[in-house]
A and B are shown apart, each in its own frame.
Chain A
Amino acid sequence: MTGKSPFETVVSAHGATVLRVCRAVLGPADADDAWSETFLSAMKAYPGLSADANVEAWLVTIAHRKAIDVTRAAARRAIPAAEIPDAGDTADRGDLGLDGDLAEALTRLPARQKRAVAYHYLAGLPYTDVAAILGGTADAARRAAADGIARLRRSFPGARVRSER
């Protein structure tokens, strides 16, 4: 009888995707912390995860919560706090070494749009799963992603950025 795979296989199957999601949502400076906390927290909870769970959706859900924690902690550290435009958003990432303009444009999206784009396009989650993470309906999650894509296309016309029908 075969139960859960060794957690190592979870890290090797999903480590790269979760890192991309953390980078998209937080920018490179805080992504490592969010990734580490996500997998440590997932490892602790792993024995209790139901056998038929969608592991990637579960990991992205944890990463989402960790990203919010990291963003809040960063906002508390930042001085002056008033310069942070949106508690759920990231501050200016212009000097943090993201690879290319598309990454830069994505990190500048409003938090909800950015997350919808990251969870659907980077993590490959269906909108029902994205909605379960963000709250609201699947349609609302789809609209948030579409709005994000539209904004990316405006701010970064060179990218092969197309909205999904």
Chain B
Amino acid sequence: MNTDERNPDELAHDLALAFPAGPGELSRLHERLTAAAHRDGVLDVAYRTIDSPVGSLLLAATEQGLIRVAYARENHEAVLQSLADQISPRILHAPRRLEAAARELSEYFAGRRRHFDLPLDLRLSAGFRRTVLSHLPEIGYGHTASYAAVAQLAGHPKAVRAVGTACATNPLPVVVPCHRVVRSDGRMGGYLGGPDAKHTLLSLEAAA
């Protein structure tokens, strides 16, 4: 062996330095990829995150519409993995498809929007849960309804617990207002975003 023979890792290192791939170039190429994927109809799920008074929110949309809003406590990485498993692994960080959703949410959190006007993709919810979700927008901004009242709205007055489950598994919190469903005794009840988030949303709506 040559006396100046060195570790081949050094060559790999030198070559990597000789062909830099910086974050700016990669983000430009990434943007080009999302545009091409969208154009070719293979961007099955686009996502982005937004900052909000209830923490970082993950927004995800299919070509049909908004499919998921997730709180940080749900673990955004785990939520994206479950979208890959349930919808498609063809998922990219692609803020452009979420522009309208991000704008409407920001208006909502600023107290300037009372209902959302966004195409929704409800396929992550099925059966009675979906029926429950479809009735939640009937509880107006700034109002609340009991789990029992929502069961009544959904046509199954006895299915109070199932209404609780539907709210706890709502794939589109904030936009589909499960935070407006409270306990019959007036207490707030649970919330998939945590009690603080529910309190924040109800206070925001009460004040606006």
Interface of A toward B, CB cutoff 8 Å = 1-8, 11, 15-17, 19-20, 23-24, 32, 35-36, 39-40, 43-44, 46-47, 98-100, 102-103, 106, 117-118, 121-122, 124, 149, 159-162, 164-165
Contact = CB atoms under 8 A, between A and B. Distances in A.
Interface residues of B, number: 41
B89 A5 contact: yes
Contacts, number: 125
B69 interface: no
A32 to B, nearest CB: 6
Shortest 6 CB-CB contacts between residues of A and residues of B: A6-B91, A16-B21, A103-B18, A4-B89, A19-B21, A20-B19
A99 B20 contact: yes
Interface string B70-114: 000000000011011100111111000000000000000000000
Contacts of B89: 3-7, 46-47
A106 B6 CA distance: 19
B32 A122 contact: no
Contact of B30 (A6, A15, A99, A124): A15
B95 to A, nearest CB: 12
Contacts of A161: 11, 14
25 contacts: A4-B89, A5-B84, A6-B83, A6-B89, A7-B90, A11-B92, A16-B26, A19-B26, A20-B16, A32-B29, A36-B29, A36-B32, A39-B29, A40-B40, A44-B40, A44-B42, A47-B88, A98-B19, A99-B19, A102-B14, A102-B18, A118-B15, A122-B12, A124-B12, A160-B14
